[in-house]
């Protein structure tokens, strides 16, 4: 079982612990005998990568990935998931957010930037 499991009409997605940005995803499509394994990429054990990326972006004068609209969408999604679990019904997510660009696979959280 994954750290986070999301089940929908098309299948189930098992996600690893989101605090570390590592671990494979498992996608169980409806009717499939086996899960599709989607390997993690990039640096492992990435706790703190988000705040580090934000600090580097602020220092460089470029927009960071953790914008307020994304935070609102995350909260809206979590509230919808909670309501769905409580009521046993589908609950839509009304908000949306622009997808942030992923960190490059060679992004190094240990690189000296000062």
Looking at the DSSP bridge assignments, the partners of residue 12 are 7, 28
Residue whose structure tokens are 């220092």? 59
- Give the pLDDT score at 95: 97
- Give the pLDDT score at 100: 82
- Give the pLDDT score at 65: 86
- Give the pLDDT score at 36: 96
Would you write out the chain's pLDDT as a tens digit for each of its 114 residues? Answer: 558 888 888 999 998 877 776 788 999 999 999 999 999 877 666 677 888 989 999 999 998 888 899 999 999 999 999 999 999 999 999 999 988 888 887 888 888 887
Cα torsion 86, 1, 19, 66 to 10°: value is -50
d(C-alpha 27, C-alpha 25), whole Å: 7
Helices (H) and strands (E) in the chain, counts: 2, 4
- Give the pLDDT score at 22: 75
DSSP 65-102: S--HHHHHHHHHHHHHHHHHHHHTS--------PPPPP
- Give the pLDDT score at 4: 85
């Amino acid at each position: 079982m994954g750290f986070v499991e999301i089940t929908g009409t098309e299948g189930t997605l098992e996600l690893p612990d989101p605090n570390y940005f590592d671990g494979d995803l498992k996608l169980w499509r409806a009717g499939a005998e086996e899960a599709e394994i989607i390997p993690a990429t990039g640096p492992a054990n990435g706790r703190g990568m988000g705040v580090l990326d934000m600090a580097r972006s602020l220092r460089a004068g470029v927009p960071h990935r953790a914008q307020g609209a994304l935070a609102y969408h995350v909260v809206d999604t979590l509230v919808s998931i909670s309501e769905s679990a409580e009521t046993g019904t589908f609950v839509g997510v009304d908000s949306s957010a622009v997808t942030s660009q992923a960190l490059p696979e060679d992004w190094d959280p240990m690189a000296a930037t000062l």
